[in-house]
Amino acid sequence: MIFSIYIEQKIFFVNVRVGVIYMKFIIWGAGVLGRQCLNGIRYQGKENIEICAFIDNNPSLIGTTIADIPILEPKSVEFISFDKVIICSQFSYEHIKRQLIEDLKISEEKILCFLMDPLPIRIDVDADNTYLGMLGEFGAEMIAWIPYLSFLKSRGLKLKTFSRKGSSVYYENISDEHIEVENRYFASTGYGYLKNAEELKKDIGLPIFCPCKELRGFKILINGIEWEIRNFHSEYKTSHLLKPSFPKQEILHIKKRAENYKGIVTINNKSYQNTHIGKVRNHLTKEEVELLFSFLTKNDYYVVYNDFSETFKEAYDNVFDSYLPPKHFARDNPSVLFLSDYSDGTEDKWDRMQLECWQNSDFVIQHPGGAAAVVELLGIRKFNFMQKGEYQDDLFLSKLYGGQSDTFYEIRHMIAYIEKEMREGRL
């Protein structure tokens, strides 16, 4: 078997094969997270565990079923024999936990949270026979997955990997064999989904493994080395992470272009994801970009404007309507390079050009997101623009990988701060 799944009892692992029910679980929460938890538990070994019931506080759900498992009212837990109850609620966890302990007299030792606690299920993966990948967003892959694979590589493992189109440049120093698959298998947020993993496995005919959303709470070990990250927007253990080394790129010859300047600055502009779901205005307007152009070039910096929108617009189903494509800007400033002008329409060249610009930048102006994650891994100083929303991992990751990060809600405040850093000799 490529995957072996075991059930952890208290503090040790029961090393037995699939075929017998070892633990009885109750899933509290019949919503999206509850269904994800069920799918994860049933992945590669549903006979190992009995799901006794779903419990939910919503009276309209009581008496219905999910996958033939009944949804019961809270007081039913008093009459069910079970080993663990798994709370599947992102925002009501503390309330449900108090309800279990105070109202229903359930021991705290029996209570787990799907998003926060390691569930007593272990998945062992053999890297020799498995292609390893992540089917979630690009930022999650960079923050949570690439450093883990880099650590595995440092332990002498030979790795076979897969990822999206254009990903090869990020795996060249990590993987012994890397394949690129179609972008349609990848989710736009988080770690991706088991259904996509199963579809990909069927389509390419190769054994694969990826830590999908449904498996977040499980103990996942690749050749005995645990993947410890469940929430990549918070601080986490770092014992199995290693700063990756990406190959140097020389496509645009940025250093030569900027040899008569004080330095190089890359501006990353992107907006399609968070803007469209109403959480974050994390893109720069035309006026803001032009203000940055003027400020940076007057201070003798060579500027790279990196806007993802126009280059791959057709690939993303018109989600870029709110962008200001590079063609809207004048090309009469010799101190500004528009990255999209050098694209050949392939993800491979685009990713290599981006990496070259970041590798040679004195600092980067950007927004939290996938591109920001690469800059963090490179340990480069960065200035973030974000008018709404908060990513707790930003300062932590910058410190972890040797960089420095500052976040601003107004471009004029960012410019004033950068000007001060220049004046005091820190830039």
- pLDDT, tens only, 266-305: 999 875 444 445 555 667 888 889 999 999 999 999 999 9
Given a cut of 90, is residue 322 above it in pLDDT? no
Whether residue 32 is found in the same domain as residue 63? yes
Residue 57 sits in a domain whose CATH number is 3.40.50.720
Q: In residues, how long is the chain?
A: 427
pLDDT (mean) for 239-257: 95
Q: ∠ CA 214-219-224 to the nearest 5 degrees?
A: 130
What pLDDT does 399 receive? 78
Q: Which one-letter amino acid corresponds to residue 327? A: K
The closest alpha carbon to 270, from 137, 413, 167, 398, belongs to 137
- Provide the sign of the torsion angle of the four alpha carbons 178, 181, 185, 190, taken in this order: positive
On whether residue 98 sits in a domain, the answer given is yes
Whether residue 286 is found in the same domain as residue 402? yes
Residue 333 contacts residue 230 (beta carbons within 8 Å): no
Quote the CA–CA distance of 268 and 275 in Å, as a whole number.
Answer: 15
What pLDDT does 313 receive? 45
Whether residue 334 is found in the same domain as residue 408? yes
For 34-66, the pLDDT digits (tens) are 999 998 888 766 567 889 999 999 999 999 999
Q: Which position has the higher pLDDT, 32 or 3?
A: 32
Whether residue 103 is found in the same domain as residue 150? no
On whether residue 234 sits in a domain, the answer given is no
Whether residue 260 is found in the same domain as residue 377? yes
Q: Which position has the higher pLDDT, 418 or 284?
A: 418
pLDDT band at 14 (very low <50, low <70, confident <90, very high): very low
Whether residue 105 is found in the same domain as residue 138? no
Domain boundary (113, 148, 165) is at 113
Given a cut of 80, is residue 230 above it in pLDDT? no
For 61-96, the pLDDT digits (tens) are 999 999 999 999 999 998 899 999 999 987 888 999
What pLDDT does 250 receive? 96
Given a cut of 60, is residue 392 above it in pLDDT? no
3-state class (DSSP) for residue 310: helix
Q: Which residue has the tokens 């990751």?
A: 397
Whether residue 80 is found in the same domain as residue 147? no
On whether residue 9 sits in a domain, the answer given is no
On whether residue 211 sits in a domain, the answer given is yes
On whether residue 121 sits in a domain, the answer given is no
Whether residue 212 is found in the same domain as residue 348? no
pLDDT band at 321 (very low <50, low <70, confident <90, very high): very low
On whether residue 249 sits in a domain, the answer given is no
Domain boundary (113, 137, 153) is at 113
> What percentage of the chain has pLDDT greater than the value 70?
84
pLDDT band at 397 (very low <50, low <70, confident <90, very high): confident
On whether residue 343 sits in a domain, the answer given is yes
Domain that holds residue 317: 254-423
Residue 345 sits in a domain whose CATH number is 3.40.50
* Residue-averaged pLDDT of the chain: 85
For 96-122, the pLDDT digits (tens) are 999 999 999 999 999 998 877 878 888
The closest alpha carbon to 170, from 244, 243, 267, 253, belongs to 244
On whether residue 241 sits in a domain, the answer given is no
Whether residue 190 is found in the same domain as residue 272? no
Whether residue 85 is found in the same domain as residue 160? no
Strand partners, 269: 307
Q: What is the count of structural domains for the chain?
A: 3
Torsion of CA 124, 128, 129, 135, to 10 degrees: 70
Q: Which position has the higher pLDDT, 281 or 144?
A: 144
Domain boundary (113, 142, 162) is at 113
What pLDDT does 393 receive? 62
What pLDDT does 304 receive? 97
What pLDDT does 158 receive? 96
pLDDT band at 15 (very low <50, low <70, confident <90, very high): very low
Whether residue 280 is found in the same domain as residue 419? yes
Whether residue 322 is found in the same domain as residue 358? yes
